[in-house]
A = this chain, B = another copy of it.
Amino acid sequence: MRRSKRLVLLSKFLSDNPNRIFTLKFFGEKYDAAKSSISEDLNIIKDAFYEGGEGVLETIPGAAGGVRFRIKRPKEEIENFILGLCSVLSDRSRIIPGGYLYMTDIIFSPEYSSRIGEIFAQIFVEEEPSCVLTVETKGIPLALMTAKALGVPLVVARRDSRVTEGPSVNISYVSGSSQRIQNMALPTRALSKNARVLIVDDFMKGGGTARGMMELVRQFGAEVVGVAVLVTTALPVEKLVKNYISLMVLEKIDAETGQIILKPLKFQNDKEGF
């Protein structure tokens, strides 16, 4: 196979399998080429991914080493994407009677959810999550795309335990905003004791659901390494969860005037995964 074709297939493969380590030997056999040729290919791809703002191709030394593609987009590009999202979500036709914001089409769209998942992954990759956890239903697309970008499994807590999923750990918690008692369940086989869990959700008001997920993780003896949400409300200021990243803050939604104020996350330098 000629270099140009190998470059095409290698680029696609690395892009499809982010954050996972592959050896030169693996690629050599896959594309029937000498390790030295693969090594030169990877240098070209490394430069191209870097210049194109796609991410970094890292060389991991040692016996378990190889190369790993990590999605890493420029800060400005991510900020522009979030600004665009704020603008799309600020359309007054999105106000639902009762003062809610309709976001379902955005979080269920593969285009938006994959971009958002990649951003969450980029912010938390250094924490080395071993899985992503969310609770049904609306958090699932964002959590799945985050898991894909991290190259790790997704785990989904249910509102009730299911007979089809076997024994489960169940907890009750008080939702932060409505002060209602809610349930959450996770099959015992879904999470291992040494898991490093990244919690992902679409929306946070009081933080009760995120707190419930943290409690659930604790019941398994596993560790929470981060909490990522798409939108939080400005009020209440005090959430039941202390450390989290939110891409947007919903400051105001006024059904009368049709006004929606969404503030994008501003990234500080050398923080939050950049």
Contacts and interface: CB of A to CB of B under 8 A. Distances in A.
Interface of A: 1, 3-9, 11-12, 15-16, 44-45, 47-49, 51-52, 54, 96-98, 100-102, 104-105, 108-110, 113-114, 136-137, 140-141, 144-145, 147-148, 151-156, 158, 163-166, 187, 189-190
Contacts of A15: 11-12, 15-16
Contacts of A49: 8-9, 12
Contacts of A144: 108, 110, 113, 140-141, 144-145
A105 B153 contact: yes
Contacts of A145: 110, 144
Contact of A110 (B104, B108, B148, B165): B148
Copies of this protein in the assembly total 2
A104 B148 contact: no
B154 A48 contact: no
A113 B151 CA distance: 13
Nearest to A147: B110
A5 B110 CA distance: 27
Contact of A8 (B5, B44, B164): B44
Nearest to A50: B5
Contacts of A101: 164
A166 B94 CA distance: 9
13 contacts: A4-B4, A7-B7, A8-B45, A9-B11, A9-B54, A15-B15, A96-B165, A96-B166, A102-B189, A108-B144, A108-B154, A110-B152, A140-B141
Given A101-B164, A104-B156, 15 more contacts: A3-B4, A7-B7, A12-B15, A12-B49, A102-B189, A105-B189, A108-B144, A108-B155, A108-B156, A109-B154, A110-B145, A110-B151, A110-B154, A137-B156, A144-B144
